[in-house]
Structure 1
């Protein structure tokens, strides 16, 4: 039975209100800690100076141009991560041989920090768009694989056998049985994957690029201008908070809503 509109609207407002409250609290805590560090000594520029530098970067056209470059690389790498990660995760979850063949390799990739991928891809591909894209892909892939494998293996085998006994095709089992079970875990995997992949992107741009957020951060670091460096760190942190709280949080709740039915 569908809930009346009078009850759905307040529930929707509460969900969005909670998300915005979480974002506000996270940003406020970061700013408060920042300001305390600035007051404690002269090694950390004030928040006002940092924001002023960021405004100057925007006025010079550097902010949006470099952020757009980084986002294009990031979205391409994450798209490849999700497609390959979900496919490999489902195959490993359904096939014992695939799991035995790929588990150790996946665990090794999971243990490798993002900086390793950034350095390797810089040596492999040099300066160019391929270095950050491949870094994003390699840094985020193992998180997706591991979570999807566990989700697939958690699907009751009896449910799949019953579906096949009633003549349900493999494609329908994958669509109506496995996909709903994997959806929530995939979103959870994306949250961890984005953190690692975004770090990898910035490091790859730091070491092997002449554009993007990571490159611009290094520009100010090499110039020994801490306010410029921290201005781009602020962009980096705010991006992660907004993506996690505003986008992935509601998507994860929608993907796992069936569990409460």
Structure 2
């Protein structure tokens, strides 16, 4: 008779434990490069602070104390939420304009040539210019950050839509005409799935642009938000506070990147993996 201890050792592991063991290496492989980057960044900053011994370069302990100070009572989260809300509204406004403009300019060479100078202008004008103009035009109102963000990200979204439309195979459209699909079906079955993946990529680029624009708007013309808090810390020459607010928003942006854009990109590109698996 086999001892009970040996029977227990030879018994198969529960499914939950097997899944946990199988997933652990993948999780570690996905996380360790980012942990390593953060660790090296902290070590490099601490070494620089100790070498310079300047109040303008605080050590990591002072920075983390300032970070803990702004995160208690969820103050930092509320301010970041205000900034994100303005960015999202600006994105939606830009998207409403980018879809028809991008599709029309991709299908018509005349339209493409017509909007080309505007795209070049939008890509070259600094976000500071949009921030200053919108503060002058709209003052302290919700329209100021929303329109500033929309103007800043609109060129990248238009280009993303253009690339998506131009990547469509002509044979697919011919097939839709042969089967006499309704325009709503063509839009739902062909155009939107195709533009989806390109828009996700365009939004990732546009989100980083929007952050630079919204901070400038909040510095010059708003009474709350991350940009306003950065300006307040700068006014008192509080370097730890400036770095702490920057780190807080950086962490929030990492959350958006991994919690929103990565899943969306994975979902948008699922057809590519399916095509690769077939081969």
**Common fold, TM-score beyond 0.5?**
yes
Q: 1:77 to 1:127 in 2, by over 3 A?
A: same
Q: 1:15 to 1:154 in 2, by over 3 A?
A: farther
Between 13-22 and 178-187, the greater mean CA deviation after superposition = 13-22
Instruction: Show the counterpart of 1:259.
Output: 272
1:38 to 46, 49, 52: 49
SS of the equivalent of 1:229 reads helix
Query: What do residues 36-69 of structure 1 show as CA deviations (whole Å, max 9, x unaligned)?
Result: 3323312311222112112222336642332222
Shift of 1:23: 4.6
Query: What do residues 157-198 of structure 1 show as CA deviations (whole Å, max 9, x unaligned)?
Result: 222122112211222222212222211111110110000001
Q: Distance in 2 between matches of 1:256 and 1:14?
A: 24
Q: 1:63 to 1:149 in 2, by over 3 A?
A: same
SS of the equivalent of 2:223 reads coil
1:174 to 184, 187, 194: 187
Aligned-residue RMSD, C-alpha: 2.6
Matched, 1:159 2:182: no
* 8 Å Cα contact 1:19-1:245 kept in structure 2: no
Q: Distance in 2 between matches of 1:190 and 1:158?
A: 28
Instruction: Show the counterpart of 1:130.
Output: 143
1:78 to 91, 104, 115: 91
Q: Distance in 2 between matches of 1:19 and 1:170?
A: 43
**Unaligned segments of structure 1, at least 5 residues:** none
Q: 1:140 to 1:25 in 2, by over 3 A?
A: farther
Larger radius of gyration: 2
TM-score, length basis structure 2: 0.81
Instruction: Show the counterpart of 1:194.
Output: 207
Instruction: Show the counterpart of 2:237.
Output: 224
RCO higher in 1 or 2 (8 Å CA, sep ≥ 6)?
1
Matched, 1:208 2:221: yes
Q: 1:61 to 1:242 in 2, by over 3 A?
A: closer
